[in-house]
Amino acid sequence: MNFDANFDPESLPDVPLERRPKHIAVIMDGNGRWAQQRKLPRIEGHRLGVEAVRRTMEACQGLGIQALTLYCLSSENWKRPQEELDFLMHLLKAYLIAERSNLAARNLQLRIIGRRDRMPEEVQHEMDRTIEACQKNTSMTLCLAINYGSRSEIVDAMRAIASRVQAGQLQIDEIDEVDIDQHLYTVGLPEPDLLIRTSGEMRISNFLLWQISYAELWVTETHWPDFGREHLEMAIREFANRQRRFGGLC
């Protein structure tokens, strides 16, 4: 990662840069509950959730994080009411258009992972335009998981590897973890070393199952629309104070 004018070397002075996570993944939960608690339509929670995305993205860049992956829409979320899904697609399209210049100005790369086939063509078009506008940027990578499911991702990886075996490009006994890594949607990104979940839920929800094998987990009761820099810094401080053994001894 190349630091730029958006990186603040004085931020979080009690946590050295080498003790901070390189890649933060976030399960953004609680938009609907945030709205219901305020007797508002669920879509208002999603609308405010976009502001939390912007806050978190900019805070991570300022803190020197290399990659931020946000779980925006799971493959299971299509079970929700059609009105809510239509609004989410509208919100995503509007976000991609509105944030395109901001992402470019902040020198941020954009990646989108997940199966695109169920998304409207106009949304896919704006995805491609925004990704292309940011492809030469050299600062932090913002990765949006949309219509994403980790089991589906692993299935897609296995199909791609099987095709290579069938074509004689790879022997079965040669397949190793590196081959699987190279066929996941997240290829090229460092593995997440910190996974944050908002709204107090204690589950992974089919998110980056392979990639978070050794990630540290941090859960907050705060709903996503209220998530701010103070919560992010709290998570990073706790991450820095943990002893990561990776299966070894103390």
Catalytic residue among 4, 77, 156, 181: 77
Residue 73 lies in a domain: yes
Range of the domain at 41: 22-148+192-239
The answer to whether 196 and 212 are in contact (CB under 8 A) is no
Phi, psi angles (nearest 5°) of residue 109: -85, 150
Residue 179 lies in a domain: no
Could you give the 3-state DSSP secondary structure of residue 24? strand
Over 80: is that where the pLDDT of 26 sits? Answer: yes
What pLDDT shows up at residue 246? 63
Residue 215 lies in a domain: yes
pLDDT tens per residue across span 93-119: 999 999 999 999 999 999 999 999 889
What pLDDT shows up at residue 4? 73
How does strand 109-113 pair with strand 141-148? parallel
What pLDDT shows up at residue 170? 95
pLDDT tens per residue across span 172-220: 999 999 999 999 999 999 999 999 999 999 999 999 999 999 999 999 9
The answer to whether 198 and 27 are in contact (CB under 8 A) is yes
Q: Whole-model pTM?
A: 0.94
Catalytic residue among 4, 6, 14, 29: 29
Over 60: is that where the pLDDT of 249 sits? Answer: no
Mean of pLDDT over the chain? 94
Residue 12 lies in a domain: no
Report the Cα–Cα distance between both ends of the chain, in Å, rounded. Answer: 30
What is the mean predicted confidence (pLDDT) over 15-43? Answer: 96
The answer to whether 19 and 237 are in contact (CB under 8 A) is no
Give the CATH number, domain containing residue 131: 3.40.1180.10
Q: Which helix (H) or strand (E) holds 216?
A: strand 216-219
Residue 186 lies in a domain: no
Give 224 or 9, the one with higher predicted confidence. 224
Residue 115 lies in a domain: yes
**Length of the chain in residues, anyone?**
250
Residue 172 lies in a domain: no
What pLDDT shows up at residue 103? 95
Q: Is 39 exposed, middle or buried (0-12, 13-18, 19+ CB in 10 A)?
A: exposed
What whole-number distance in Å separates Cα of residue 248 and Cα of residue 98? 46
What whole-number distance in Å separates Cα of residue 226 and Cα of residue 31? 9
Q: Which two tokens stand for residue 190?
A: 């460092």
Number of domains making up the chain: 1
Among 32, 16, 4, which Cα is nearest to 223's? 32
Strands of the sheet containing 216-219, edge to edge, are 109-113, 141-148, 67-74, 23-27, 194-197, 216-219
- Res. 1 pLDDT band, cuts 50 70 90: low
176 part of the active site: no
Share of the chain above pLDDT 90, in %: 90
Among 144, 121, 179, which Cα is nearest to 69's? 144
Residue 29 lies in a domain: yes
